[in-house]
Structure 1
C-alpha cells in the first residue's frame, strides 16, 4: 500500500525590514534545504495576499515567522487553521496597532511555539504573552536571554527536533 500522506512544507516568513535571505532565512536553509523563504513587500494586507498566493500550493504547512512575519503567520493560521501543522513564532509582532481592526481574531488550537527575547526593544513582551494566552490554546511561550533579532536563540534551537511533525 502506498502512503499518500505528504509531510508539511516549511516556510520562513521574514520580518518587516528583513527578507527571506537574511540571517534566519539563510540559517534555516542550511538545516532544511527544502524550506521556502519568499520575500514579502508592501504593507500588511499586501503581504498577506502574497502569503496566501504562496501557501495555496500545498495542503499543510509549518510556519517559522519572525517579528512581522510572526504576525502574518498567526493571522493566516486564524483564517486557515486546517492548513497549518505547527507555527514557531520568533518575537512575533502580535500587538494591536499592527492587527487590522476588521480582522476577526479567533481562538486557535494549532501547536504554537513562541520565542521572545527578554531584551527585545522592538516588540513588547506582555502584549504578546497576553495575545498568546487569549488566542492560542496549545502554545508554549519561551522567554529567552536575547534581543529582538534572536540570533543567539536561532542558533541554539534544535530545529530538527522542534520541527519533527
Structure 2
C-alpha cells in the first residue's frame, strides 16, 4: 500500500495550518497521512541529519512505496530522503528551503552569527510552541554538510513556490528545477507560507499522485 508523509517546516509542528489542512483533505479520501513531529520534544538540538534519521526510521519496510510532501525545511528534508531512499517514488515540495543557510545567515547579520557560534545557542521564534526557543549552533554546522548539487536521483517531483517568498527566493527553486528535468515547478502568486494557495496546491497534489 502506498504511504504518504507530510514533513512540516522549521520551528513549526504537526499542528500547523498546512499540516491540518492536508490531513483533513487526505482523510476525506480515506487515506492516512503520517505527520511526524520533527521537533522530537527537543527543538534546541534539531539538525537536518536528525530529521532524516527520524523519518527514515518511520518509513515502512521496503519496497513499500512512499510519497513525501514537505514544506520549507521539511521540503529540504524530503528532497534528501528522495535521494537516499529508493522507496520514495514521488516528492511534493512546498517552498523547499534550498540554500537555507545562505539566505538565513545574512539576514541574521555577521555579529549575531558570530555570537551564536561563540555562545552556542540562538533564540528563534517557534511557531508551534508560540514562544522563543534556543537552537544550537550544531544546526548550522550540520546543514553546511548538505549540498543540493548532490540531489541527483530522478524522483518525479512537483514543486510549488511563491513569487513573493520573503524567506527562500523563488530563484532557488527555478535553478533547482532547470537542472533536473524530472522536477515540475509551479510558480504561485503567494509568499513563503503558501496558505492562500492551498486549493491550487491540493488540486496539483491530487493530479500528481492520482488521488481519487
Range into which the TM-score falls when normalised by the shorter chain: 0.7 to 0.9
Report SS of the residue matched to 1:148: coil
Counterpart check, 1:130 vs 2:128:
no
From the two aligned structures, give the one with the greater helix fraction. 2
Q: 2:80 touches 2:151 (CA, 8 Å); kept in 1?
A: no
Rounded to whole Å, the distance in 1 between the matches of 2:82 and 2:169 is 22
1:160 corresponding residue in structure 2: 206
Report SS of the residue matched to 1:38: coil
Q: How far does residue 31 in structure 1 lie from its aligned partner after superposition? A: 1.2
Runs of 4+ in structure 1 off by over 6 angstroms are none
Report 1:110-121 matches (<5 A).
Answer: 110-121=155-166
Rounded to whole Å, the distance in 1 between the matches of 2:75 and 2:183 is 14
1:3 corresponding residue in structure 2: none
Relative to structure 1, is the Cα distance of residues 18 and 96 closer, same or farther in structure 2, using a 3 angstrom cutoff? Answer: closer
1:142 corresponding residue in structure 2: 186
What are the Cα deviations for residues 41-77 of structure 1, in whole angstroms up to 9, with x where unaligned?
Answer: 2121111111111114462111111000000000111
Whichever of the two has the greater Rg, that structure is 2
2:110 corresponding residue in structure 1: none
Relative to structure 1, is the Cα distance of residues 23 and 130 closer, same or farther in structure 2, using a 3 angstrom cutoff? Answer: same
> What are structure 2's unaligned runs of at least 5 residues?
40-45, 102-139
Number of residue pairs the alignment of both structures matches: 157
Rounded to whole Å, the distance in 1 between the matches of 2:97 and 2:150 is 15
TM-score by length of 2: 0.67
Report SS of the residue matched to 2:154: strand
Q: 2:5 touches 2:69 (CA, 8 Å); kept in 1?
A: yes
Q: 2:161 touches 2:187 (CA, 8 Å); kept in 1?
A: yes
Report 1:1-165 matches (<5 A).
Answer: 6=1, 8-33=2-27, 34-41=32-39, 42-57=46-61, 59-80=64-85, 82-95=86-99, 97=101, 99-101=143-145, 105-134=150-179, 136-156=180-200, 157-158=202-203, 159-164=205-210
> What are structure 1's unaligned runs of at least 5 residues?
1-5
TM-score by length of 1: 0.85
Report SS of the residue matched to 1:87: strand
Rounded to whole Å, the distance in 1 between the matches of 2:20 and 2:191 is 19
Rounded to whole Å, the distance in 1 between the matches of 2:183 and 2:11 is 26
